[in-house]
Amino acid sequence: MAFNYLSVTTPEYDDASISIAFESWTPTSLNGTIPNYDNTFLSICGIYGTYLKMITVITTLMFPLMVYLLVFKSEDGMKTYKWLLMNNVVTGFLQVLLFGIWLPVPLLFDQLICAFSLGPSRFNSSWNYLMLEASILLFLNLSLSYVASLIYQYTLIMPMSKV
């Protein structure tokens, strides 16, 4: 399958253009064209990248505090629930860290979904697949750990009746 590439240069990353790969077929609603990116879109990409970096820094600074509070300051009665919460904290931190390094910018067209990276993976597109797979695995782990935490809380509140 052939890929076409669209190169875009953002104001924040003038040193390298960002390549957007899309399959050679295009939906009929696009009429075979990709929208022209103006300076507004590119400045929004810069703001979005800065936002992700700020969230990553704040989360990285707060992560040791959250782990310390869970491990050393939680009560003895929270034995199992403490480790469920630890899974939530660590997985959430890894997901924020991944997005802070990857810096994906989603693009949504008519029937065409793609993204490009403002992070280091913009130099080698094969890293984008690895980052995407890691983000999917982290999302699934985070979702399942939330469900496990809720089920654990529910069983504490509503214990099963003895048969």
Quick one: pLDDT at residue 115?
76
Q: Is the pLDDT of residue 67 over 50?
A: yes
Q: List, for residues 7-62, the tens digit of each pLDDT value.
A: 444 455 444 444 444 444 344 444 444 456 667 777 888 888 899 999 999 999 99
162 assigned to some structural domain:
no
Q: In angstroms, rounded to a whole number, what is the distance separating the alpha carbons of residues 152 and 148?
A: 6
CA 117, 120, 122, 125 torsion: positive or negative?
Answer: negative
163 assigned to some structural domain:
no
Tokens of 127: 């890293």
Q: List, for residues 103-152, the tens digit of each pLDDT value.
A: 888 777 767 777 778 888 878 878 888 888 999 999 999 999 999 999 99
Q: Which residue has the tokens 């009429």?
A: 31
Q: In angstroms, rounded to a whole number, what is the distance separating the alpha carbons of residues 13 and 11?
A: 6
Q: What is the 8-class DSSP label of residue 109?
A: E
Q: What is the 8-class DSSP label of residue 162?
A: P
Q: At what angle do helices 79-102 and 39-72 cross, to 10 degrees?
A: 160
Q: Which domain holds residue 137?
A: 3-157
Between 157 and 42, residue with greater pLDDT: 157
Domains held by the chain: number: 1
Closest of 85, 90, 82, 86 to residue 60, by C-alpha: 90
Q: In angstroms, rounded to a whole number, what is the distance separating the alpha carbons of residues 57 and 156?
A: 36
